[in-house]
Structure 1
Amino acid sequence: MPLLTRLMSAAMICCLSALAWADQPGAAGQCPVLDVADDSARHHLMDYVCYHSAEPDDAAHRATSPQELPESLAWTPADGHDLVFSHTQSVYWLKLQLNNSGSTRGLWYLKLDYPLLDEVTFWTSTGNGTSRKLATGDQYPFASRGIDYRYFLLPVTLGAQEPLQVTIRIRSSGALNVPLSLETPAEVIATSNDLTLTHGLFYGALAIFAAFNLLLFFSSRTVYYFYNAFYMGAMGLFLFAMGGFANQYFWPESAGFANTSIPLALGLCALAMTLFGRSFLEVRPDTLANTTLKAQAWFCIVFLALTFILPYNKTIILNTVLALSVIASLLISAGIRWRQGYQPAIWYLLSWMVMLAGALIYALAAFGHLADFLARESLMQVTIGGQVILLNYAMVQRWRLLNQKLLEVEHKARTQLEFKVHERTSQLRNAMRELEKANRKLAALSLNDPLTGLYNRRHLDNILPELCAEARRTGQPLTLALIDADRFKAVNDTWGHGFGDTCLQLIADILSRHVKRPRDIAIRFGGEEFAVLLPGADIEGARKVCQAILDDLRNTPLDTPDGRTLNMTLSAGVAQLATPEDQCALFQRADDALYQAKASGRDRVEIAEPEFSDWGAPATQ
């Protein structure tokens, strides 16, 4: 075990060094005014931030607005340091004074890049006495943030030479990280795009690995593949919750569950790690390691139950200690199995050493002992990525070891081995057949719009060239109608996207009723844009179909969420394929006709004139 001891010692030294370098706020001083027009000053925002830590017996702790703060309140400048605080009952007040020395009015965003805060309240006050308040945080519905973003964004609009004071009150039952930045809209978008790419790659790769392990489990019935998929899913959920994505996408209205989900996912990770380690390492039933891992699994189940009973600040500590203890015990078990000659254990051991180092640093950041939570989050993602690769390589090595054993069995009992190979081949063929069926189902789903059930743009792009070629070959007419809902944006803005979806489904139902010939096709190819392909129908027949659709929708009232009645209308543009015309020109003429219908007052059908005569010459005007 000397190698294991040395590696664990190195990991601990790295974590302690990182803790020693953690940024700490500076001493008391003055808070200067930040000129938002100065890019250099904005990029050093923390040089202009002051804060006050209000203990429970402090008058500022009871204050609920800046006007209730004592005039003698002592503000401490951050002096360029990130504000990081461990678990505390204090309330933290922050103050930032801004001024726009530029000659034009501008928009900036004050961004707080830490999603796990129970209560965050922003106040802005201008020199003329105008004030504004924004109360949000995990204890509020996600929509309270005003901007659909996992972090906290405060729009700051300043006219030329206009001053502004921003005051922030923060309270949380966990640790506090307050990484503030003041960015232009372009900078916010650029940063968001970079993070979207990074998170998309990470969570996408994690989902692919988990799905791949599930496929291996279903095909081979080897249980540790299932446990590995379970672990990656639980770890992905934990990081999704820690990163604020779960609160944004999974339970935006469940403010009480936002905190509970984090220790719950952490407990699931600990349980999955234990089950996977016990199965992968092939721990013998009559050993102390097996008894220990079984007891750990039961502890994980008990801690999961406690997550719903104890407060967040207790369960997050308990489950973090549990997870780190599980990792440490798995390291010891892997080291023992390696010493016993089980070769895949070395890669398993390395993967959990990487995980232990990353988890310690991430835990220190999450509990307020290290600054720059975003960097620690990225480090944790890199750590998990490295661990997943090592774990899967360990499974490859385990598979290779099993293959060697199968070769030995073949040498001793060829007949028995052939039977087993045949059985494995049959299982693999079944898995491939199931995968092929799944691919066919996915291909079918990819051609349909999930909201309306109609075909989607991809199907239009596939079928329109084929129908055009068929019409030119057979001489039969082909008519394309483009239909668009009138003033649909106003519907969404007034009654919300949920009611807008109901309207789109109604339009789709009406299209399905009127587009009823076997070869007629109704398609939703945009937000409120629809297409109707009518092979064999001339321009007059297509006009009648479109007019019937428009009349049907106009005469179908809808009850809005606020109790009013809405009669929607449609506009349509119709074009018939000319002899030398391709699908692009046909689509463009139908689109021009639709535009003409919109420009002519909406709720009407416009017929597109062909650009070519039947003989290929340009049509006369």
Structure 2
Amino acid sequence: MFRSARLIALFSLWLLPALALPDSGSARSGCATLDASNPDARATLMQYVCYHSAPPGTPSHDASDPGQLPADMDWTPANGRDLVFSHTRSIYWVHLHIANFGSERAAWYLKLGYPLLDEVTLWQDGNDTTQRLVTGDQRPFSDRPVDYRHFLFPVTLDAGESRSLTLRVHSNGALNVPLSLETAEEVIAGSNHLTLTHGLFYGALLVFAVFNLLLFFSAGTTSYFYNAFYLAALGLFLFAMGGFANQYFWPDSPGFANMSIPLSLALCALAMLMFGRSFLEVERGTVSAKVLSGEAWLCIGLLVLSVVLPYNKSILLNTALALAVIASLFVIAAVRWRQGYQPATWYLLAWLIMLVGGLIYALAAFGYLTDFLAREAMMQVAVGGQVILLNYAMVQRWRLLNQKLLDVEHNARTELEFKVHERTAQLRNTMRELEKANRKLSSLSLNDALTGLHNRRYLDNILPELCGEARRSGQPLALALVDADHFKSINDTWGHGFGDTCLQFIAEVLTRHVKRPRDVAIRFGGEEFALLLPGTDAAGALKVCVALLEDLAETPIPAPDGSDVRITLSAGIATLESGEDQGHLFDRADQALYRAKHAGRNRVMMSGTDREQSTQPPRHSSTK
């Protein structure tokens, strides 16, 4: 009998945690105890939550600790509903009693999935101890127990242990208290999913913004700049509303973290106006232009006031302004569409999506709709759809402008062709004369007018090319400088007219001996000539020059007085050496010519050698 009583007692102690008897805190609030080890029970967490609204002036509003709450305070069961409240000055107390009915020690996270709460304090009472955590976006982000945009509070329970969780929540804006109790695995899985979703969303916004900015720099169209400005401002606003800006941009500036939301919202409204006015091509002086200008100045005013006004007032004003801007742009787009402006069709659809999504998001943010996270995702879908439609509308607008440009170009071309047809004969004659003049000018610019040979300009142009070709191909290149001996005496004796005749004769002789297609004869001075002989080595150049000197010396020229005049030439030859430029080649040929003159004229000298070749003209009377 005694043994049976012991078994019954032990069995009763083992079942004691499963009885879920409420402790004093649970009985005080009238809420059931949540079995934290049961996933199904955790999924219905709000069935176990109770709350109390403490308006200003009440003892519960002034209480800073659960122990200071009145004993007869009424607790309201949540009955499975999310705790969502519009703008209020009340303080909300939230109570939850949990127990670990499992056989092992386990840990969970109490997740408060709304980042924009000014003050959040959690008390954990159990085992004669109280743990207190104070956080909120009015405090540095490092005060949060877990580095996460939402509030995560670790809760660890031994097997059979129970604990009372009490939250004190206060905020200047709307108050959302979406609670969940999750394991570390569930938190990580949910965070990974949201990280991927948010990464794709904000990454797409950034890509579209940068793309439009590049289009602006490329095309200079202001609509692309305003679109990039709007996408950046909208992304910043949603980033701040989602708690990311507080986490990553200014974690140590809680005051600015709150201020950044109405500031970015006013900036976003201003960007909407600027982009809409540019895209819809609203003309100045119209009613639409005046409405948009007035709203733009209002945006600038509220942008400044957001720095000094309290958050709860500035966010209301800026939200109302943003919705009014969206609505006015929607109406103006409808008017432009009825006026026949084709790109307004897609713009109208884009702002219809934005108007619906923005209205739902605003109602959720201000506490008029539950499940803020779902509304946030819906807002991202709306923004994504709007961005796609807006950029498609930009493409349609570009196509329309391009078509207008093509039409203008076609009309201008048709008119121009008609005028050109009338003046075709005149223009043809003019072009024919101009072509003749150009050919003559080109010939004069590169040819010597007296002899018909190429001139010094042609030498300056062709010599570097031939030197470069010789260096690349490894073929020889010879340059011969030729000068008429004692030519001044011819001019002094018979005059310059006969001197010109002699120069023409020398040119004829040069032309006879420069036979290959690529060989060039040039007159680059008064009685100075040059021979360019590509593919010719020193021996070949010497042979050409010797034949030239002999031919000229043996051919008399009749003078004005009836006598015969024989002219002799002196020549200097240089061949292109490895690594040599055209200037040095010319200088060596000139030095060789100088040595030929100095050695007695009527001869050929090679550059860099003592080799000398001379021709002996026939013995008869001549002038030298």
User: What TM-score do the two structures reach when normalised by structure 1?
Assistant: 0.62
In the alignment, structure 1 residue 86 sits paired with structure 2 residue 72: no
Distance between the aligned counterparts of 2:273 and 2:338, measured in 1? 20
Partner of 1:76: 76
Letter in 1 for 2:219: S
Alignment of 1:12-51 (within 5 A): 30-51=30-51
8 Å contact kept, 1:107–1:184: yes
Alignment of 1:91-490 (within 5 A): 91-126=91-126, 128-414=127-413
8 Å contact kept, 2:117–2:169: yes
Partner of 2:526: none
| Secondary structure of the structure 2 residue equivalent to 1:201 | helix
Distance between the aligned counterparts of 1:378 and 1:364, measured in 2? 14
Distance between the aligned counterparts of 1:80 and 1:290, measured in 2? 50
Distance between the aligned counterparts of 1:258 and 1:357, measured in 2? 27
Letter in 1 for 2:190: T
Distance between the aligned counterparts of 2:59 and 2:285, measured in 1? 61
Partner of 1:562: none
| Secondary structure of the structure 2 residue equivalent to 1:413 | helix
Gaps of 5+ in 1: 1-27, 418-621
| Secondary structure of the structure 2 residue equivalent to 1:253 | coil
Q: Alpha carbons of 1:416 and 1:66: their partners in 2 closer, same or farther (altered >3 Å)? A: farther
8 Å contact kept, 1:84–1:370: yes
Partner of 2:459: none
| Secondary structure of the structure 1 residue equivalent to 2:103 | coil
CA apart distance, 1:414: 3.7
CA apart distance, 1:189: 0.2
**Cα deviations across residues 333-367 of structure 1 (Å, max 9, x unaligned)?**
11111111110011111100100000000000000
Distance between the aligned counterparts of 1:57 and 1:206, measured in 2? 46
| Secondary structure of the structure 1 residue equivalent to 2:375 | helix
The more displaced of 283-292 and 176-185 is 283-292
Runs of 4+ in structure 1 deviating by more than 4 angstroms, as ranges, are: none
8 Å contact kept, 1:117–1:137: yes
Partner of 1:57: 57
Distance between the aligned counterparts of 1:382 and 1:29, measured in 2? 40
8 Å contact kept, 1:52–1:92: yes
Distance between the aligned counterparts of 1:370 and 1:85, measured in 2? 9
| Secondary structure of the structure 1 residue equivalent to 2:120 | strand
CA apart distance, 1:73: 1.1
Distance between the aligned counterparts of 1:30 and 1:350, measured in 2? 51
Distance between the aligned counterparts of 1:257 and 1:190, measured in 2? 31
8 Å contact kept, 2:109–2:183: yes
| Secondary structure of the structure 2 residue equivalent to 1:124 | strand
Structure with larger Rg: 2
8 Å contact kept, 1:331–1:349: yes
8 Å contact kept, 1:410–1:416: no
CA apart distance, 1:416: 12
Distance between the aligned counterparts of 1:121 and 1:61, measured in 2? 14
The more displaced of 406-415 and 248-257 is 406-415
Distance between the aligned counterparts of 1:277 and 1:216, measured in 2? 17
CA apart distance, 1:415: 10
CA apart distance, 1:309: 1.1
| Secondary structure of the structure 2 residue equivalent to 1:411 | helix
Partner of 1:11: none
8 Å contact kept, 1:46–1:180: yes
CA apart distance, 1:29: 8.2
8 Å contact kept, 1:91–1:171: yes
| Secondary structure of the structure 2 residue equivalent to 1:194 | helix
Distance between the aligned counterparts of 1:345 and 1:272, measured in 2? 18
Gaps of 5+ in 2: 1-27, 417-624
8 Å contact kept, 2:83–2:177: yes
8 Å contact kept, 2:29–2:95: no
Distance between the aligned counterparts of 1:50 and 1:416, measured in 2? 83
Letter in 1 for 2:318: N
Distance between the aligned counterparts of 2:335 and 2:94, measured in 1? 52
Distance between the aligned counterparts of 1:416 and 1:63, measured in 2? 87
Distance between the aligned counterparts of 2:50 and 2:290, measured in 1? 54
8 Å contact kept, 1:237–1:265: yes
Distance between the aligned counterparts of 1:205 and 1:345, measured in 2? 24
8 Å contact kept, 2:52–2:75: yes
Distance between the aligned counterparts of 2:299 and 2:146, measured in 1? 37
Q: Alpha carbons of 1:416 and 1:376: their partners in 2 closer, same or farther (altered >3 Å)? A: farther
Matched-pair identity in %: 67
**Cα deviations across residues 579-600 of structure 1 (Å, max 9, x unaligned)?**
xxxxxxxxxxxxxxxxxxxxxx
Distance between the aligned counterparts of 1:263 and 1:380, measured in 2? 17
User: What TM-score do the two structures reach when normalised by structure 2?
Assistant: 0.62
